[in-house]
């Protein structure tokens, strides 16, 4: 159990550590990260044992299969955690990078230089790999990190943290650079969110209610990682075979994640040709279809979608299907019901593709590819802090660059302002 | 008088307009901006007449000279407003700029493309040029803007707005692209700050209490433009003549602004050589000195600084002066008492300069130049939305680039995730 004063002290220690972290050279950070990756592998049985405790509780209290899947750690998932740390170590250090160089007429040389943000608080649910991914990304970018995971994963998170903390100490990272809040009481989050001036940024990852709650209470800037109501629009000019492969992948490859498709939009002109066989594929894969009346006239015997369905992130083998007149109507649907996360058009019509890419105001817009690619690792960022649905500071998959701010460094020779 | 419903409608209209603005080509925006600049000049007597009304009220209610100075519009200031609009027109359009291009092993081409943020709300006090600067910067960067100026400048702000709005209409900018709230009731601000999901970003500019109030109440991301407790540290290795010129400039050239120096720190080893003549220069310029005991032993007869003085942004001809052992102690003082806005070192010692530039965690850090240069115009940004003291999204002078977000545009050839 932590006290109110204990929360404040932990935050202040992180602030103090962040000053030292900002000045570390890349080599020291990278060595620590590589050791961390190795230590994860070396201690995998300890992690799996602790994870079992969480899984037992989860089953006892009757968590859903999707949640249990997210909570589960096994060999491949532990290897992937270790690999993420090692690939983060291999990325170019963003700290100190000169983003822009301006020479002004009065001779002043202005350099815009990347610097760490400072202290970052992550509030997250379920997936325990978030613990190591966030520690890796924050350390690499010179930020101190405070972790507050969900109670359902508390044993797994603490196990992972302990392994990484031992390596951080061994490599002389500033004490307080990484910390975890073990107390799962809700008041602790409220107390953390009051620490403006100490914590610089809050990143909530999890369900809608968690994110709403954090945004309501926080006096610290928040980057929200909201839901993904992702669409695929199959245009008149689509390659039908490609469209089927993309749609199936976007829905069923891993339905419980935010970049999975939730709504399929089909151009009226190809609906009769496309929908019967597509819906059959979905049904064979166990997908429940909820569709508009027009879709049901083409493929009878499927459930009618309600207005609410179009807004819904199912995170499950359920898909809503609608027919639209053209790209414009598809864009309109997406802008009305979507969550501006990831949306795709399948088409061979270049004009429609460009229109869609320009006008759909989502973090990631695709032509002829599955929305499932929205991911920090896939984008080459090593891992991700999550996928921001905000437009301020960071949007889409957040990696180490998105964990930096900048400062202006100005070199003069005695210039004064006239 | 505006109603609660009226506020909501105005915001929704701005949102609608922002969609159109995002798609405008640069030529259309630039033409509108140039016409706006010309219209400001052509209507300068109208602006000056309306400004007189505000000045009369200001005098009647006894506003300070510093505030009246900020409120005052005259020939040169109107020309400068017009020039800002024209130089914004000449800047490269940030919208559509490809910031990064990534080709992934699976053949996906990922482009990171600049896009406008959407709807920006500016809440500001006094200076009426903020009205035209913010309209210019937001329009150029494809954002809709809602302005809420202070009651003390209401006539001036409305006059400037009316002139620019006529040009916006003439050039077929989307209706609602720029709007001003004329109702100066405080509840209107509270109502605006509830419009999350419609307004994308809030920028408050003004006194500390305004910014605190906005940050407390807002459910929308805020970029704060806080006070500037700016320092100049004169190091042992300083060119004394240069140091005097820089310090005098930083304090007296325009003391009422946020980048003016508020605290002078002097290395102990040169204090006796530097301080007597420096303080005489300040006194001759009408500056009141508040100093530490050690300073007073060198220059008798000056006021003792209190602990509070070190934290204070005077915005006036007052300066606090302290002696420090070395660059480390100067950095410590700045990190403790400063506001992380703009801080300078005067030195010929390269190691101390680099140490200071690296370790002082302020938006702008200078070597051998006056802090007065922290300014969007001076930095080549045409004008500024203000000077951010935040680290999230934008830091230091905010120009058009800082008014953009980005999206990922991904080109595939049927790729699906394995």
Are B369 and A410 in contact by the 8 Å Cβ rule? The answer is yes
Which pLDDT band, with edges at 50, 70 and 90, does A66 fall under?
Answer: confident
Report the pLDDT averaged over residues B392-409.
97
Contact residues on chain B for A246, CB-CB shorter than 8 A: 414, 416
Q: Is the pLDDT of residue B126 over 80?
A: no
**Residues sharing a CB contact under 8 Å with residue B105, sequence separation 6 or more, in sequence order:** none
Q: Do B104 and A249 touch (CB under 8 A)?
A: no
CA nearest B252 in A: which residue? A417
CA nearest B366 in A: which residue? A410
Mean pLDDT score of chain B: 96
Q: What is the pLDDT of residue B219?
A: 87
Report the pLDDT averaged over residues B382-390.
92
Q: What is the pLDDT of residue A10?
A: 97
Q: Is the pLDDT of residue A126 over 80?
A: no
Q: Which pair of tokens denotes residue A26?
A: 């890349």
Among the partner-chain residues B102, B239, B369, the one whose CB lies closest to the CB of A410 is B369
Closest Cα of chain B to A57: distance in Å?
32
Q: Which pair of tokens denotes residue B256?
A: 């009422």
Q: Do B104 and A379 touch (CB under 8 A)?
A: yes
Q: Which of A29-43, A306-320, A375-389 has the lowest mean pLDDT?
A: A375-389
Q: What is the pLDDT of residue B220?
A: 94
Alpha-carbon span B117 to B398, nearest angstrom: 14
Which tens digit of pLDDT belongs to each residue from B224-248? 998 999 999 999 999 999 999 999 9
Contact residues on chain B for A221, CB-CB shorter than 8 A: 221-222, 390, 392
Closest Cα of chain A to B17: distance in Å?
13
Contact residues on chain A for B249, CB-CB shorter than 8 A: 416-417
Q: Do B392 and A200 touch (CB under 8 A)?
A: yes
Which pLDDT band, with edges at 50, 70 and 90, does A70 fall under?
Answer: confident
Contact residues on chain B for A370, CB-CB shorter than 8 A: 412, 415-417
Report the pLDDT averaged over residues B292-301.
97
Alpha-carbon span B118 to B195, nearest angstrom: 13
Most B CBs within 10 Å: which of A245, A372, A405, as the mutation test of the B interface? A405
Q: What is the pLDDT of residue A211?
A: 92
Q: Is the dihedral of CA A291, A294, A298, A304 positive or negative?
A: positive
Could you please state the CATH topology (level 3) that the domain comprising A230-373 is classified under. Aldehyde Dehydrogenase; Chain A, domain 2 (3.40.309)
Among the partner-chain residues B23, B250, B368, the one whose CB lies closest to the CB of A413 is B368
Report the CATH number of the A4-223+398-411 domain.
Answer: 3.40.605.10
Report the pLDDT averaged over residues B330-341.
97
Domain ranges of chain B: 4-223+398-411, 230-373
Among the partner-chain residues B196, B249, B414, the one whose CB lies closest to the CB of A242 is B414
Which pLDDT band, with edges at 50, 70 and 90, does B334 fall under?
Answer: very high
Report percent pLDDT > 90 for chain B.
Answer: 92
Report the pLDDT averaged over residues A282-311.
97
Are B120 and B199 in contact by the 8 Å Cβ rule? The answer is yes
Q: What is the pLDDT of residue B131?
A: 97
Which tens digit of pLDDT belongs to each residue from B167-195? 999 999 999 999 999 998 889 999 999 99
Report percent pLDDT > 70 for chain B.
Answer: 100
Contact residues on chain B for A365, CB-CB shorter than 8 A: 407-410
User: What's this model's pTM, rounded to 2 decimal places?
Assistant: 0.94
Q: What is the pLDDT of residue A185?
A: 86
Report the pLDDT averaged over residues A47-71.
93
Are B147 and B114 in contact by the 8 Å Cβ rule? The answer is no
Which tens digit of pLDDT belongs to each residue from A331-366? 999 999 999 999 999 999 999 999 999 999 999 999
Among the partner-chain residues B110, B379, B393, the one whose CB lies closest to the CB of A392 is B393
Q: Is the pLDDT of residue A64 over 90?
A: no
Q: Which residue has the higher pLDDT, B219 or B54?
A: B54
Q: Do A117 and B413 touch (CB under 8 A)?
A: no
Partners of A397 in the β-ladder? A387
Q: What is the pLDDT of residue A109?
A: 97
Closest Cα of chain A to B99: distance in Å?
11
Alpha-carbon span B100 to B106, nearest angstrom: 18
Which pLDDT band, with edges at 50, 70 and 90, does A252 fall under?
Answer: very high
Which pLDDT band, with edges at 50, 70 and 90, does B65 fall under?
Answer: confident
Q: How far is CA B355 from the centre of its chain?
A: 27
Q: What is the pLDDT of residue A219?
A: 87
């Amino acid at each position: 159990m932590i006290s109110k004063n204990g929360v404040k002290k932990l935050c202040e220690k992180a602030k103090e550590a962040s000053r030292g972290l900002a000045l570390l050279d890349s080599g020291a950070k990278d060595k620590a990260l590589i050791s961390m990756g190795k230590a994860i592998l070396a201690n995998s049985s300890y992690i799996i044992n602790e994870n079992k405790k969480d899984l037992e509780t989860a089953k006892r209290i009757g968590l859903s299969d999707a949640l249990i899947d997210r909570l589960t750690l096994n060999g491949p998932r532990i290897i992937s955690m270790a690999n993420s740390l090692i690939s983060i170590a291999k990325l170019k250090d963003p700290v100190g990078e000169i983003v822009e160089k301006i020479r002004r007429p009065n001779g002043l040389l202005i350099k815009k230089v990347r610097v760490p943000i400072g202290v970052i608080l992550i509030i997250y649910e379920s997936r325990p790999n978030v613990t190591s991914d966030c520690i890796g990304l924050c350390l690499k970018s010179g930020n101190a990190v405070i972790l507050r995971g969900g109670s359902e994963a508390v044993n797994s998170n603490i196990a992972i943290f302990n392994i990484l903390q031992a390596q951080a100490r061994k490599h002389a990272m500033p004490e307080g650079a990484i910390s975890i809040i073990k107390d799962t009481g809700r008041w602790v989050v409220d107390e953390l969110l009051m620490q403006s001036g100490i914590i610089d940024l809050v990143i909530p990852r999890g369900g809608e209610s968690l994110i709403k709650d954090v945004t309501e209470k926080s006096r610290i800037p928040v980057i929200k990682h909201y839901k993904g109501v992702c669409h695929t629009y199959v245009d008149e000019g689509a390659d039908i075979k490609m469209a089927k492969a993309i749609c199936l992948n976007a829905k069923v490859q891993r339905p419980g994640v935010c970049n999975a498709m939730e709504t399929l939009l089909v151009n009226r002109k190809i609906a009769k040709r496309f929908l019967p066989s597509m819906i059959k594929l979905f049904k064979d894969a166990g997908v429940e279809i909820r569709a508009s009346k027009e879709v049901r006239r083409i493929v009878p015997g499927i459930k009618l979608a309600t207005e609410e369905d179009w807004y819904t992130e199912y995170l499950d083998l359920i898909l809503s299907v609608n027919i639209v007149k053209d790209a414009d109507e598809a864009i309109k649907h997406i802008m009305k019901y979507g969550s501006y996360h990831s949306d795709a058009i399948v088409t061979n019509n270049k004009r429609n593709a460009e229109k869609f890419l320009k006008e759909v105001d989502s973090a990631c817009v695709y032509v002829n590819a599955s929305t499932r690619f929205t991911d920090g690792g896939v984008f080459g960022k090593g891992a991700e802090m999550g996928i921001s649905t905000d437009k301020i500071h960071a949007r889409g998959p957040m990696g180490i660059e998105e964990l930096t701010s900048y400062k202006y460094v100005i070199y003069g020779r005695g210039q004064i302002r006239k």
